[in-house]
Amino acid sequence: MPDRVYPPVIAACKLMFRVLDLRIAREGTEHVPTTGGAVLAANHVSYLDFIFAGFGALPARRLVRFMAKHEVFEHRVSGPLMRGMHHIPVDRQAGQASYQQALSALRAGEVVGIFPEATISRSFTVKEVKSGAVRLAAEAGVPLLPTALWGTQRLWTKGRPKSLTQRHVPVTIVVGEPIEPTTDDALRKRMQELLDEAQQRYPESGEGQWWQPAHLGGTAPTPEEAARLDARR
């Protein structure tokens, strides 16, 4: 499929990275296959995660087709961009159609990006994951790539104002080795392990900071508190 929209969007994102002087560290990008289908399953801490998860696949010269809620495709600004980049709309009332579209993309040799938690984690830990990523990888017979993103929440996350003028923020992108698409629990465990490693190696201390999880000394909600906040909404 022709990609006339995706390359200019990537160029605009790279310009944003330079203007903000983001300190981006990419690890494990060699695990993204240079050809053929793959499912890239990333944790979700920011509204900008699709940009950075996609950036993790660029060294392999792959363009990731992300699954995203259909409301984003209906917006007058983001809609044309999402459709032009051939992302996949997800209508939670008609999920099978989205699943089949993603499956077709994988069988056609595309990399499909999924945030298995479905929504942003307020606790900055990995929530329970939905079954789509594991099912798709198993049915399509493609690699399942657990991925961790860290630092992106400092730019724009749920319940906090946007900080898109903040400069020099470190951002970590870790693509793990492919795992067998067996169970959702196995995927969640591996994603949390990668996230733990990214948090431990992060170049700035977040103790006492809102963007650090509670178990590492930050003031983010605990997973239990985050679940209660999500339930109220």
Measure the CA–CA gap between 58 and 7, rounded to whole angstroms. Answer: 11
Q: Does residue 207 lie in a domain region?
A: yes
Residue 44 lies in a domain: yes
For residue 156, tell me if it sits in a domain.
yes
Q: How many structural domains does the chain have? A: 1
The CATH number of residue 143's host domain is 3.40.1130
pTM of the predicted structure, to 2 decimals:
0.96
Q: List the 38-42 sheet strands across, edge first.
A: 23-27, 170-175, 144-150, 38-42, 111-114, 64-69, 88-90
Range of the domain at 26: 6-232
Domain annotation covers residue 1: no
User: CA-CA distance, 97 to 109, in Å (whole number)?
Assistant: 19
pLDDT tens, position by position, 111-129: 999 999 999 999 999 999 9
Given a cut of 70, is residue 178 above it in pLDDT?
Answer: yes
What pLDDT band is residue 233 in, cutting at 50, 70 and 90?
confident
Q: Is residue 226 part of a domain?
A: yes
Q: What whole-number percentage of the chain has pLDDT above 70?
A: 100
Q: pLDDT-based confidence at 1, cuts 50/70/90?
A: low
